[in-house]
Amino acid sequence: EVQLVESGGGLVQPGGSLRLSCAASGFTFTSFSMSWVRQAPGKGLEWVANINHDASDKYYVDSVKGRFSISRDNSRNSLYLQMNSLRGEDTAVYYCARVYWIEPRPGHFDYWGQGTLVTVSS
C-alpha cells in the first residue's frame, strides 16, 4: 500500500524558515517523480514544486522561486521542502504527492499524503 506521511509543519514568523519532510513507503521511491502541493485555509490547491526521480530536475511555481527548495534522499525514501523567507501568504496545508510521469512530462498526482499545516504569523 502506497503511503506518504508529511511532517515538519508548524508556526513560524514571517521571514523565518521551515523544512518539511515526506516519508514514502509501499512503492519503489526511486522510480517516481514527486511534488509538493499546498492549500491555503479555505482556498484551492496550488502546485508548488516537482522533483524528478534522481533529483536532476526541479521545477517551481513562480511565487516560491528563490525561496523554496525541493530535494529528496532516495536512500531514505524521503522528500523534502526547504522553505526560506516565509510570508503570510505561504500559510497552507502542504501535501506531498506522487507524480505519475508520462514521458516526457508530468501527467497527474496519483497518491497524496494527509498534509502538514504551515502557519506564518507573528
- Residue 46 interacting with other proteins (CB under 8 A): yes
CB of 69 to other proteins, least distance (A): 16
- Residue 110 interacting with other proteins (CB under 8 A): yes
Enter the DSSP assignment of 30.
Answer: G
Write the CA distances from 10 to 13, 20, 96, integer angstroms. 10, 10, 16
- Residue 117 interacting with other proteins (CB under 8 A): no
Interactions with other proteins, residue window 64-93 (CB under 8 A)? none
CB of 110 to other proteins, least distance (A): 6
Q: Is 18 exposed, middle or buried (0-12, 13-18, 19+ CB in 10 A)?
A: buried
3-class SS string, 62-77 = HHHCCCEEEEEECCCC
Binding mask 5-44 for other proteins (x = CB under 8 A): ------------------------------x-x------x
